[in-house]
Structure 1
Amino acid sequence: MSPSILLSQFFLPPSAVSLGRFITSLDNPHQDFHDPLCSSSPEVIERVQVQYDSIRLSVKNQNMASQLTTLLSSSFSKRLKASIRISADQAKTYYLNNAGQWFRDAVRSKETQRWIERTIDEGEDIYMVVAYHTLLDARIIEQLGAQSAAGGSLAIPVSTVSTSLTASGVVVSSVADPGVGGTRRRTEDEQRHFMAPGEQTYAVQYRKVRWSWFASNKVDKVMLAKKAWWERYDRPRYLESEAEDMIEVDLEDETALEGDRNENAIEFEEVFVSDAQ
């Protein structure tokens, strides 16, 4: 099973991600994408988990939902350089059922075929969205610390959390700059609370589109009947018949991820990866 990618911008509304969508950026499924035109809508399987809060359970008894809370909290903390804890009333996963058949139906569209060829010519990789994960009414608590010296004070600045999350549609509450004052050196902890109202997407799972050019007169027609292929649109007319005039596409079972990423397995069912910080 291909891993799910934690979004670099933390959250996206579900309307920004679609099952069966073709994309070029693992971190930004809402940009430079193509939604295939098919005669039927994607068949969706949903899995719901409630009471999504890891601190309610001991480490030995953590279930999948609580482990995900720990994973997300850790990822937020690393990116924002602060201690973060996340909880929500519900976690949900949407899966594309029978992804292989959906893919074969999708690439029959001439618009999709042209988009694939153009993207290949631009040197981009192509992926298809096969699942995405959401939280409902996620609550984010940022734990901060500050010190003050004798006769002075040290203000705790508004964290970059509010800026980062507001850009993702998160409503921020209790964001005033709390001051720390006193007459002797001490450490005080402060908490800030953030809210992501409604359903928010935090991770997306993909399968990579594999493609190859070939000459139609050198391939067994019986084998061609079993694959998704078409005659390339950009083929110059002066090319000889033995030139690579056809393109074949398929989905890879496993997606090899480039770059430095952290990988986390959850209950042997899901694998989530994030950018290494």
Structure 2
Amino acid sequence: MPRSILLSQFFLPLSAVSLGRFVISLDDPHQDFHNPTSNASPNFTEKLQTQYNSINHSAKHQNVASQLTTFLSSSFSKRLKASIRITADQAKTYYLTNAGQWFRDAIKAQDTRDWIDRTIDEGEEIYVVVAYHTLVNARIIEQLGGQTSAGGNLAIPVSAALTASGVVVPFNVGDPELSGFCGRIEDEQKQFMAPGEQIYAVQYRKVRWSWFARNKVDKMTLSKKAWWERYDLPRKLLGESDDSIEVELEDEIKLEGDYDECTIEPGEVFVSEV
């Protein structure tokens, strides 16, 4: 089942990622990528949901929106070591329509084949962006307790973390508000705005490739493959008989490290790095 990966830098502007893009990093789809050339832009399907608020997550009335924002809030809280709540006006998902056919058409272009060949030779994995998820006018509310220890407040400054990504997102930082006081414990809230539509998660399919000898495969089998011939002199000098490469998309992506996983609804699985 395809899984959507929460971005390590929290948000990217809508212009930073495009459907059908070939990338080498699950965390940084805006770096070291290739956009296949095509006579037409990739078709996409859009799904819209509203009232994304992590407050509404009671066990009896949990819906897709509250499940997601609860998961996002938990992920932010763990990474920032602070209590975070996320709300948004809307959430959208953009799906690449007929991703398999788009891929087969894309690799017909010589520049795309050259990029795949070069990336394979460099030992990198290749992924294709088949969907991405966005929040519209997201609000990130940080709850700070006034308790201190010998080392001071242990929370990471949210404003610094949110603006530390490779692509700058224009956050509007509100004035801190004193929301409560009890004895010697103060609770303070800071609210950060991510105006407009921001990408928070990306779904990929992996490009699987394999070598084969073209003269050992019949024409009918070749007609069903997505393949091309490699004129690879070093391989020929080593006596390698495999002269062609086959590529295809697969859903399973092996993730390294520790991850939290949340199934929002059938077919929608989100993964966050711990």
Deviations 1:185-214 (A, max 9, x none): 611100000000000000000000000111
Deviations 1:88-141 (A, max 9, x none): 000000000100000000000100001001000110000000000000000010
Paired position in structure 2 for 1:98:
98
SS of the residue 1:79 aligns to? helix
Structure 1 stretches lacking a partner, 5+ long: none
Paired position in structure 1 for 2:161:
164
Is residue 158–residue 175 contact of structure 1 (8 Å, CA) maintained in 2? Answer: no
Paired position in structure 2 for 1:62:
62
Is residue 3–residue 270 contact of structure 1 (8 Å, CA) maintained in 2? Answer: yes
Is residue 47–residue 93 contact of structure 2 (8 Å, CA) maintained in 1? Answer: yes
1:160, distance to aligned residue in structure 2 (A): 1.7
Paired position in structure 2 for 1:191:
189
Q: How many residues align?
A: 269
TM-score, structure 1 as length reference: 0.89
Change (3 A) 1:81 1:156: closer
- Aligned-pair identity in percent equals 66
Is residue 147–residue 185 contact of structure 1 (8 Å, CA) maintained in 2? Answer: no
- Which structure has the greater CA radius of gyration? 1
Describe how 1:1-277 pairs up with structure 2 within 5 A. Answer: 1-56=1-56, 58-147=58-147, 159-167=156-164, 168-174=168-174, 186-235=184-233, 243-276=241-274
In terms of mean alpha carbon deviation, does 158-167 or 225-234 score higher?
A: 158-167
1:172, distance to aligned residue in structure 2 (A): 3.2
1:233, distance to aligned residue in structure 2 (A): 4.1
1:176, distance to aligned residue in structure 2 (A): 5.9
1:221, distance to aligned residue in structure 2 (A): 1.6
Is residue 215–residue 244 contact of structure 1 (8 Å, CA) maintained in 2? Answer: yes
- Quote the RMSD (CA, aligned, Å): 2.7
SS of the residue 1:74 aligns to? helix
Deviations 1:148-194 (A, max 9, x none): 79xxxx9969952101212441413235698x9x9x96111000000
CA distance in 2, matches of 1:172, 1:274: 25
CA distance in 2, matches of 1:114, 1:148: 57
1:260, distance to aligned residue in structure 2 (A): 2.0
1:55, distance to aligned residue in structure 2 (A): 1.5
1:59, distance to aligned residue in structure 2 (A): 2.6
CA distance in 1, matches of 2:142, 2:19: 32
1:256, distance to aligned residue in structure 2 (A): 2.5
